[in-house]
Amino acid sequence: MTEVEPTIIPRDAHPISRRDISDNALKVLYRLRKAGYQAYMVGGGVRDLSLGREPKDFDVATDAHPEEVAQLFRNCRLIGRRFRLAHVHFGPEIIEVATFRALPPPDDDVAEGERVIDNGRIVRDNVYGTLAEDALRRDFTVNALYYNIADFSVVDHAGGMEDLQGGVIRLIGDPRERYQEDPVRMLRAVRFALKLGFRIHPETAAPLPEMASALADMPAARLFDEALKLFMAGTGLSAFEMLRHYGLFEPLMPLTAEALAEEGSEDWIPFIAAALRNTDERVSADKPVTPAFLFAALLWPAVRRREAELVEAGEAQVPALQRASSEIQALQQSRIALPKRFSIPMREVWTLQPRFERRGGKRARRLLGHPRFRAAYDFLELRAQAGDASQELVQWWRDFQDQPEKPPSQKKGSGSSSRRRRGSRGRGRARAKDGGEGGAGDGGGSPEAGS
């Protein structure tokens, strides 16, 4: 890549105002500058402020090396191996300070001290460079804008301003190479397109289907982080659709993809869509959501499929579900690493499902008092929507939550009054029994699963 002159957008020609930048980020920028270093706000901060949006966090780029940054701030910790970074802590706010990085060398499979490249993939990258170099190794043009604290101008090396105005997500450089260096950029393209309502430039989108499988050998912990950002940011349903469109869903959740591709599985798409829509609605209403419930839904088609295979092979229903749950969870773990605090409640939501079938008074009351009852019941409702459980069963449990002392007759039908009361009383009971962990959900997202 040849060095070209950057476009400098002066203060009066862009909308970024210091009033919108966090005091702590400004503190970091000013102190670096006072110590004689270059200091820029970069990435999401510049991008989002330019669009009149509130940034999630503020990142800083500088020519000071991490150790030099650490000397300027008492509240600083150096982190990362793949990328060494300085984190400056201000209570709950962390300002990430990154040193300008140089571009990767043209040839493959080299390890030159602080940079390790394996098969085109950047495994470690701690070779420092200039702002111009740093700009060109960022992912998308709109993420490569630098706000200069020295004169409040914005420095644009990659045509980011134009793409911001045009609503375009475009990789810097050769898309294939950039995905090869870091396949997670494929997911980031989708994420930013959804977050900003932008379109992915055709050249940036073109390699996605054929390169998608490279995600399969990304670290599962990193993919968990990305999956949360994709599915739990308020546009989860669109994320699911866009990931499927580009072939990116398959490497993330191969077992679900397989179950969805099977003949006669048409009802599973609306099932997953309903779960994601529900989560999206909760996010926009500022209600808590949990990955445990969401992943329970995303993986359920695979669990059901495996369960059916085991039953076919002669295993009894309940042990078949238990085994299918363990197997699917374990296999999925190699792609997206769900922490135990989510995977345990996820499996519980699954394995509680057969217990809804048994409506004998004592058993049903015991299930009602289960700490995970609410989440499991919400899940049952979701299943009924997809025809995977009967509406009559859901109605029975709705009524039973209102009147647990008198189990409703199995035929009792529509009760709009019971729906109105549902949750208030049933929830109170569950809470009384298990000391507070039980209830609190008001349908769908079931925040208590996993908290």
- Positions marked catalytic: 57, 59, 139
Residue 183 contact partner, candidates Mg ion, ligand ATP, none, CB within 5 to 8 A by sort of partner: none
Q: How far is the CB of 229 from Mg ion (least distance, A)?
A: 11
Quote the CA–CA distance of 151 and 66 in Å, as a whole number. 24
Residue 172 contact partner, candidates Mg ion, ligand ATP, none, CB within 5 to 8 A by sort of partner: none
| Residue among 211, 224, 204 nearest 158 (CA) | 204
Residue 394 contact partner, candidates Mg ion, ligand ATP, none, CB within 5 to 8 A by sort of partner: none
Q: How far is the CB of 152 from ligand ATP (least distance, A)?
A: 20
Residue 133 contact partner, candidates ligand ATP, Mg ion, none, CB within 5 to 8 A by sort of partner: none
Query: Based on CB atoms, which residue is closest to ligand ATP, 57 or 281?
Result: 57
Q: How far is the CB of 83 from ligand ATP (least distance, A)?
A: 9
Quote the CA–CA distance of 358 and 42 in Å, as a whole number. 58
Q: Rule CB under 5 A: is residue 191 a binding residue for Mg ion?
A: no
Query: Based on CB atoms, which residue is closest to ligand ATP, 220 or 269?
Result: 220
Residue of minimal Cβ distance to Mg ion: 44
Query: Based on CB atoms, which residue is closest to ligand ATP, 216 or 269?
Result: 216
52: left (phi over 0), alpha (psi -120 to 50) or beta: left
Alpha helices in 8-105 (DSSP H): 23-34, 44-50, 66-72
Record the tokens describing residue 251, joined without a space.
């490497």
Alpha helices in 51-118 (DSSP H): 66-72
Quote the CA–CA distance of 11 and 263 in Å, as a whole number. 59
Q: Rule CB under 5 A: is residue 258 a binding residue for Mg ion?
A: no
Q: How far is the CB of 336 from ligand ATP (least distance, A)?
A: 17
Query: Based on CB atoms, which residue is closest to Mg ion, 44 or 66?
Result: 44
| Residue among 188, 147, 170, 177 nearest 11 (CA) | 147
Burial (CB count <10 Å: 0-12, 13-18, 19+), residue 313: exposed
- Helix 291-312 to helix 254-261 angle, to the nearest 10 degrees? 60
Q: Rule CB under 5 A: is residue 57 a binding residue for Mg ion?
A: yes
Q: How far is the CB of 57 from ligand ATP (least distance, A)?
A: 6
Say if CB 144 and CB 160 are below 8 A apart: yes
Query: Based on CB atoms, which residue is closest to Mg ion, 42 or 272?
Result: 42
Contact residues for ligand ATP, defined by CB under 6 A: 43-44, 56-57, 59, 138-139, 143-144, 182, 184-185
**Contact string (CB under 5 A) for Mg ion, positions 6-45, x = contact:** --------------------------------------x-
| Residue among 5, 68, 84 nearest 31 (CA) | 68
Q: What is the dihedral of CA 378, 387, 313, 264, to 10 degrees?
A: -130
Q: List interacting residues with Mg ion (CB under 5 A).
A: 44, 57
